[in-house]
Structure 1
Amino acid sequence: MGRDDQNEMKVGTVNNGFDADEKSNETSFGIENSKSKKSGVQLDWKDLTVTGSENEQPKTILHSVSGCAKPGTLMAIMGSSGAGKSTLMNTLTRRNINGLTIEGKVEVSGVSLGEDISHISAYIQQNDVFIGALTVEEHLRFHARLKLSKKSIKFQTEKVLEVIRIMGLQKCAQTVIGTPGLSKTISGGEMKRLSIASEILVDPPIIFADEPTSGLDSYLASAVCQTLKDLARNGTTVLCTIHQPSSEIFDIFDTLLLLSMGRCVFLGPKNEAKKFFESTGNPCRENYNPADHYIWETSVLEGKEELSRNKILKIWDSFNASDWKKEVAAGQVESIKSDPMVTDVVDEAKANKANWFVSFYMLLWRALISQYRDKSTAGMKFGQNIGTAIIVGLVYLRIPWNANENPYDKTDVFNINGAIFSAVCSFSFAYLFLVVFSFPRMKVVLRREYYDGLYPLFIAFLTESAAGLPFLFAMPFLFLGIQYCMIGLFPSWSAFWAMYLTCIMIALSATGYGYMISALAPTIEAANAIAPPLMVPLLLFGGFFLQSDSVPPWFIWLKYISWFYYGAENLYVAQWREGGYCMEISNPIQGFFQKFARNGSATCPDGPTSFDDCCGIENSVFVEGSVVLEGFSYKEEYFWRNIGCLTCLAVGFRLVAYFILAFKFRAANR
């Protein structure tokens, strides 16, 4: 182990692949045994006692559980709900153990590895989690590139094709995986086989499988278990938790570990379990599924709790006094400090880990595919933005501004101000909810892959943000172009580019806030529930509903973290700093004072010589845009300050989101 020739896949080729979605006469698929098995490792757990808490009271979940899984065997870990199966699996794999106190040892060929056990094992979790926009082959290439980064591209490609052949995935290799509930997906059996394929790329000595048959029909469940059996025959140590298997599936396993009330009530060859239960006075009936019998006899029955517990304790005592328990103790490997074979595998796994550059490249490649390949998602993004722009434009539809033929009046000022702020709001909500809708799903993938050691979390988060930049630059241009033509904003390239830059920064800030909310929320539903109330305070302090210089002192901090405030101010400044509006006057005296109230600065854009035809309208006066800005306490000189503040918010929200994820994904929560 540890060398290139030892890392070649030795499990042969597929007898027959199959498509789970079409009927055939095939009943299973398998892996032909190689002529020589690979050298395997033994997994031992010694006197494991795991304590948690329930209602702030300590609760022992596992009671001094000991056992071993030998290379070349497929072990079934069974028990009723609450028996301790998941806790044992989590303890062995060093995952999801936050809040648990663990006593005892977990060793690989006598060596205690701690969290390094992830480098020598694969963990096939119950829920299949994928990036739905990738094809099956692309998903495997991504994993091969990160797990075998020190190998040649040719070696990685051959390994991917070999694993596809081994797992019978040829027919769906170029098929997009899909996202359940959102798009068409490959079948459940293909997803489960893809999960296994992702893990056996590096030919791990140990495989943990948590409920590998969950959600599958009997045919697919049998095929998946047979695949695990074939892997075990070639020297891999395979352990699976399984809930009430059929007699056909149960017959595939070699070894049975039966848990009840956190105690090991049997561990030994599967076929020996009948003899043990007969010796305890609980024989299995003829023509009855033995797996159902074992679970029934070791379950705490409702209404018979005390009687059931006493019965289980008697079975436990019988096992502790049996020869099977003695064989388990005798079969465990003596504890040692190190073993060259184990050390080589761990060291090679660490050496094959991708560097930052490869991780960044592959994660960016996947993120771009994820965000832009899915036509329904991309269509929703473009449709939402363009649709919003058209709707707002229709509501505030106006012939473009012209100083002499169709100048702004007071009504236009009111409407344009409303259009600008509604654009800020719709723009912000659209971009925020695009992130809130998608990133929580990605977060599940990131968590699993980060714990598997595929890449640094910071690189993953950075690429996820970077992949969205093309959209964040393109859509504001289209959005603003539509708004400009329909609403009749000030016809100046300088005003347009100032608004465009501001819209980009608003979009970056809103998406950053979306990342922060998504990082805080445990689920998509929770993220969508908390996003609106967390947005409303920032919206109120944008300057449209509350004059910005009249914000109460105790809420002033909200004003300065509101991109609505900075964005709205910049958009109003871009609109009104070069232009103004015409106001009709009722008599010359009013016009005289109106003209000189601003120290003689009330002049038309085209500089007319006559006060009466200032705006092309008799008895009117031109009012500079600065008057509009003063009504909101907005200042023209704050434009670049606001751009800087929006940049800080865009970066700051993302940094907060990253630190939240880093805290949630810390080693203690693994």
Structure 2
Amino acid sequence: MNIEFSKGLDNPSFDETYDPRVNKKTLQNFLISEAIDSNAQQISVVSKKSIVDKMSVISEPVSLSWHDINVFTKVSLKHRKKTDPKPILRNVSGCVKSGQLMAIMGASGAGKTTLMNVLTQRNLSEIVVEGSVKLNGRMANANSITALSAYVQQNDLFIGALTVREHLIFQSRVRMDQYISDVTRKDRIQQVLQDLGLTESSNTMIGKPEDVRGISGGERKRLAFASELLTNPSIMFCDEPTSGLDSFMALSVVEVLRDLAASGRTIVCTIHQPSSEVFTIFSHLLLMAEGRVAYLGKLEKAIEYFSTLGLFCPNNYNPSDFYIKQLAVIPGNETQTKDKIESICDRFADSPYAKEAIPPQSCEQFIYSSKEELEIRRNVYKSSWFIQFWALLWRSHLSVMREPKVTRTQISQTVFVAVLLGFIYWRLELDQSGIININGALFLLTTNLSFQNAYAVVKTFCIELPIFQREHNNGMYRVSAYFLAKMLAEAPIYLLLPFLFVALFYYMVGLNSGLIQFLTCALISVLVANTACSFGYFISCLTSDVTIALALTPPVMVAFLIFGGYFLNNDSVPVYFVWFKYISWFYYGNEALVINQWHNIHHIDCQTNTNITQEVTNHTITTSCIPDGKSVIRTLHFSEDNLTRDITALLALILVFRSMAYIALFTRSTKR
């Protein structure tokens, strides 16, 4: 019977997850550090045997089975009557047991990646999945698979500012059990570096392929593999593990996979065009064609099965190339080749090979005694929240400190704009014409700090979102730990730069010369800058694309700016937009700066040719000038009693925008 595939804990039958590794043998998990003796290029036969000997006792075996998997594209409500769901996988069943190294192969579009996504319960939001996936015969969910497995994905995503060793140190902190000693972690890291040939590049910055030079593409692939080997998982999923590697290193990587499987792990790989030497290392083979199973079983029996179909592999011919050739849809001859593929799949389903390889609904390979009964594991995280937070804060701090171009650019921009505006508004006179100029300078201060800081962070989460989603879905850390660490790592910049701007701008313009007024202005400016940052974080978490984030930010900020009390008098805001004024940090920041500037100015020089009529407190007063600072405040329909309220409102907006950013990021994290 088909069972609707469930995500997370929504389905009660998926409520409990278990981790066979959580038992008395867990402390043995990292004794492997003594088992490997390798150099940067080759793993010796002796060390490989040692790997198998040592690792065979450190994990409980786990078998993985999947039953009657059917996958369809989602059809929108608008097109449901016109378009039927397109099948991607059709009645796919299989099983891979502990100690087996299975290769999933097939031509482009055969369904390899979709099947891998179903097995790992990732990237399923755009498809409809039916069927069941089981671990040791028990229903699996996303948490249980995450707790038991490691997933080496094809795309290499790293924080480019870290070195290879620093990346592995971070991984060890958040992925290895928290009671593991630092010495054991260090030994494990060194062992993995040697095993994957990364010792010489261990202190090299990872870099960014499109920007900062770092390690090579092959080294990036090996680093992705090393990251997963740290945790010594029971199941490993590898998506194109040899992609980007030369033939020798590809062979070495697959040999390591073979030895890991021999030690009791269950390993599933998708692989594309392996060499004949690499291909023969796999113990089992799953051939996919047009979303169906064309063959499943032992590698050596595949030739035998195809021979029964009258398809013979030539001598001195790579068997993997032969299988792909037989199962590929040839352009210009689609109908004939598709009929051939359907025939191969149908004949396999009725063959003894299928009966031997395709599991029944129960695929329980191991029977545990009461003493070895699997324990329930509800929490997929290996480390506590505080360990995750400090590890993320350390990584984020390194990332910020190692972006000297960005830091220098931000400092240069702050100094340049502050000095430029300072000269434009140089030493304004405290007279009637100076009132407008000073108020303009104050509003320009608010505007510049807002746009500069919002744009500085609006790309932050967009850029790191793929890395965050991958790491979070791997059970490495909680959303709250990541979000808070990111905020705190960047906080010093957005505290110091606004203060630097005010320190240069304030006295050049000739604003209120009192020390208290200067410090208050600096405080308000820092709050305005951080409110804008919080808004930028929210936009960054809300969108997944940098272009969309940059396009969305200006019009929303301009809407806030209009209600700041400079372009539109505070008393002239339409009643249906009053609510918008009260969520605009431009309004609170501008009012606070105006109050701070004018509330203790008791005399303003007057020119007799000025004639100003203003309505103040329900009385019409005709005067030749605005006599003092309090009158300036009333002219703008601000209240000098609102200074504390404005500062409190800015603090509240910082909290609100960051809370909204966290909710947006948390929502994205639930999409696997």
TM-score (norm 2): 0.85
Distance 2:161 2:567 in 1: 42
The question of whether the paired residues in 2 share the 8 Å contact of 1:48 and 1:63 is answered with yes
**What does the per-residue CA deviation read over 1:56-77, in whole Å, with 9 as the maximum and x for residues that have no partner?**
4433322121212233332221
- The equivalent of 1:46 in structure 2 is 67
The question of whether the paired residues in 1 share the 8 Å contact of 2:97 and 2:365 is answered with no
Secondary structure at 2:382 match in 1: coil
**What does the per-residue CA deviation read over 1:76-129, in whole Å, with 9 as the maximum and x for residues that have no partner?**
212223321122111111222235443333223333332212111101112222
Distance 1:503 1:199 in 2: 45
Query: Taking structure 1 as reference, are residues 573 and 581 closer, same or farther at Cα in structure 2, changes over 3 Å only?
Result: same
Bigger Cα displacement from structure 2, 199-208 vs 223-232 = 223-232
- The equivalent of 1:65 in structure 2 is 92
Q: What displacement does 1:482 show? A: 0.6
Q: Does 1:428 align with 2:450?
A: yes
Which runs of structure 2 are paired with 1:130-169 in the superposition (5 Å)? 130-147=158-175, 148-169=177-198
Of 24, 31, 40, 1:17 maps to 40
Secondary structure at 1:32 match in 2: helix
Distance 1:473 1:340 in 2: 60
The question of whether the paired residues in 1 share the 8 Å contact of 2:63 and 2:365 is answered with no
The alignment covers a number of residue pairs equal to: 630
The question of whether the paired residues in 2 share the 8 Å contact of 1:164 and 1:170 is answered with yes
Q: What displacement does 1:50 show? A: 2.8
Distance 2:47 2:639 in 1: 73
Q: Does 1:584 align with 2:604?
A: no
The question of whether the paired residues in 2 share the 8 Å contact of 1:135 and 1:176 is answered with yes
The aligned amino acid for 1:311 is K
Bigger Cα displacement from structure 2, 501-510 vs 192-201 = 192-201
TM-score (norm 1): 0.85
Bigger Cα displacement from structure 2, 26-35 vs 627-636 = 26-35
- The equivalent of 2:8 in structure 1 is none
The question of whether the paired residues in 1 share the 8 Å contact of 2:102 and 2:284 is answered with yes
Query: Taking structure 1 as reference, are residues 515 and 586 closer, same or farther at Cα in structure 2, changes over 3 Å only?
Result: closer
The aligned amino acid for 1:59 is K
Bigger Cα displacement from structure 2, 282-291 vs 477-486 = 282-291
Secondary structure at 2:228 match in 1: helix
Q: Does 1:653 align with 2:657?
A: yes
Percent of aligned positions that are identical = 38
The question of whether the paired residues in 2 share the 8 Å contact of 1:15 and 1:30 is answered with no
Distance 2:336 2:625 in 1: 96
Which runs of structure 2 are paired with 1:22-41 in the superposition (5 Å)? 32-34=48-50, 36=53, 38=56, 40-41=61-62
**What does the per-residue CA deviation read over 1:154-175, in whole Å, with 9 as the maximum and x for residues that have no partner?**
3222222222222222112222
The question of whether the paired residues in 2 share the 8 Å contact of 1:192 and 1:224 is answered with no
- The equivalent of 2:566 in structure 1 is 544
The question of whether the paired residues in 1 share the 8 Å contact of 2:39 and 2:194 is answered with no
Distance 1:536 1:309 in 2: 57
Q: What displacement does 1:204 show? A: 0.6
The aligned amino acid for 1:633 is H
Distance 1:623 1:214 in 2: 76
Q: What displacement does 1:186 show? A: 1.7
**What does the per-residue CA deviation read over 1:293-338, in whole Å, with 9 as the maximum and x for residues that have no partner?**
3223323333433323211110101211223212203699644998
Secondary structure at 1:58 match in 2: coil
The question of whether the paired residues in 2 share the 8 Å contact of 1:48 and 1:102 is answered with yes
- The equivalent of 1:79 in structure 2 is 106
The question of whether the paired residues in 2 share the 8 Å contact of 1:409 and 1:583 is answered with yes
The aligned amino acid for 2:207 is G
Query: Taking structure 1 as reference, are residues 528 and 182 closer, same or farther at Cα in structure 2, changes over 3 Å only?
Result: farther
**What does the per-residue CA deviation read over 1:357-387, in whole Å, with 9 as the maximum and x for residues that have no partner?**
2222222222222222322232233223223
- The equivalent of 1:615 in structure 2 is none
**What does the per-residue CA deviation read over 1:194-221, in whole Å, with 9 as the maximum and x for residues that have no partner?**
2222222221111001222344455554
Bigger Cα displacement from structure 2, 76-85 vs 560-569 = 76-85
The aligned amino acid for 2:307 is E
The question of whether the paired residues in 1 share the 8 Å contact of 2:531 and 2:657 is answered with yes
The question of whether the paired residues in 1 share the 8 Å contact of 2:71 and 2:88 is answered with yes
Which runs of structure 2 are paired with 1:624-635 in the superposition (5 Å)? 624-635=628-639
Query: Taking structure 1 as reference, are residues 565 and 233 closer, same or farther at Cα in structure 2, changes over 3 Å only?
Result: same
Distance 1:342 1:89 in 2: 33
Query: Taking structure 1 as reference, are residues 555 and 222 closer, same or farther at Cα in structure 2, changes over 3 Å only?
Result: farther
Distance 2:103 2:353 in 1: 16
The question of whether the paired residues in 1 share the 8 Å contact of 2:381 and 2:477 is answered with no
- The equivalent of 2:331 in structure 1 is 302
Q: Does 1:174 align with 2:200?
A: no
Which runs of structure 2 are paired with 1:96-245 in the superposition (5 Å)? 96-98=123-125, 100-115=127-142, 116-147=144-175, 148-216=177-245, 218=247, 220-245=249-274
- The equivalent of 1:22 in structure 2 is none
The aligned amino acid for 1:171 is E
Distance 1:452 1:203 in 2: 14
The question of whether the paired residues in 2 share the 8 Å contact of 1:209 and 1:241 is answered with yes
The aligned amino acid for 1:63 is R
Distance 1:216 1:535 in 2: 47
Q: What displacement does 1:27 show? A: 11
- The equivalent of 2:10 in structure 1 is none
Distance 2:271 2:639 in 1: 67
Of 529, 550, 554, 1:528 maps to 550
The question of whether the paired residues in 2 share the 8 Å contact of 1:10 and 1:234 is answered with no
**What does the per-residue CA deviation read over 1:162-195, in whole Å, with 9 as the maximum and x for residues that have no partner?**
2222222211222222233232222222222222
Q: What displacement does 1:392 show? A: 2.1
Q: Does 1:376 align with 2:375?
A: no
The question of whether the paired residues in 1 share the 8 Å contact of 2:64 and 2:97 is answered with yes
Distance 1:342 1:76 in 2: 34
The question of whether the paired residues in 2 share the 8 Å contact of 1:111 and 1:337 is answered with no
Which runs of structure 2 are paired with 1:357-396 in the superposition (5 Å)? 357-396=386-425
Distance 1:509 1:555 in 2: 21
- The equivalent of 2:505 in structure 1 is 483
Q: What displacement does 1:500 show? A: 1.0
Distance 1:302 1:629 in 2: 77
Distance 1:77 1:348 in 2: 29
- The equivalent of 2:581 in structure 1 is 559
Secondary structure at 1:240 match in 2: strand
Secondary structure at 2:208 match in 1: coil
**What does the per-residue CA deviation read over 1:577-610, in whole Å, with 9 as the maximum and x for residues that have no partner?**
23364232259xx89x9xxxx99999xxxxxxxx
- The equivalent of 1:612 in structure 2 is none
Q: Does 1:292 align with 2:315?
A: no
The aligned amino acid for 2:66 is W
Any unmatched runs of 5+ in structure 2? 1-20
Secondary structure at 2:86 match in 1: strand
Query: Taking structure 1 as reference, are residues 290 and 549 closer, same or farther at Cα in structure 2, changes over 3 Å only?
Result: farther
